[in-house]
Amino acid sequence: MHLSPKRRWPRFSVRTLLIAVTIFCVWLGWQMSIVREREAVRRLIESRALSWLVPGLGEGIQPPFARRLLGDRPGFVVTQFEKSSLAAEEEQRIRQIFPETTVSFRPSGKPK
């Protein structure tokens, strides 16, 4: 009678499990901080009277799957009517946090 070999499951210690869970939690917390920062910048832009937010026009670039699960949304187009209505630091922050976002400027006046 021929017995098939038993399947051996990988073995690991509780210490290895705790290290893996810790690394996963640190990574998850980092992703959550990115999502919260992006949402804070969104609220800042939405609070500006001279800003337009056009959701979903960030050249079709979606955030990574894990961040979408945490509530992140794709980028958008920010159109300012006056260059002075958006400080250079704010524009740089938007470009850094939303690399898929388009920031453009139009001359002063009414929107199209």
> Is residue 68 helix, strand or coil?
helix
Is 50 exceeded by the pLDDT of residue 58? no
Alpha helices of 1-112 — where are they, by DSSP H?
A: 14-47, 65-69, 88-97
How many domains in the chain? 1
Range of the domain at 45: 14-105
Q: Tell me the average pLDDT of the chain.
A: 77
Query: 5 in a domain, yes or no?
Result: no
Query: 6 in a domain, yes or no?
Result: no
Is 50 exceeded by the pLDDT of residue 23? yes
Query: 110 in a domain, yes or no?
Result: no
Query: 8 in a domain, yes or no?
Result: no
pLDDT, position 65: 87
Is 70 exceeded by the pLDDT of residue 60? no
Is 80 exceeded by the pLDDT of residue 21? yes
Query: 4 in a domain, yes or no?
Result: no
Query: 91 in a domain, yes or no?
Result: yes
Query: How confident is residue 75, by pLDDT bands cut at 50, 70 and 90?
Result: confident
Is 60 exceeded by the pLDDT of residue 52? no
Query: 98 in a domain, yes or no?
Result: yes
- The helices-and-strands tally (H runs, E runs) of the chain is 3, 3
pTM of the model: 0.68
Query: 1 in a domain, yes or no?
Result: no
pLDDT, position 112: 47
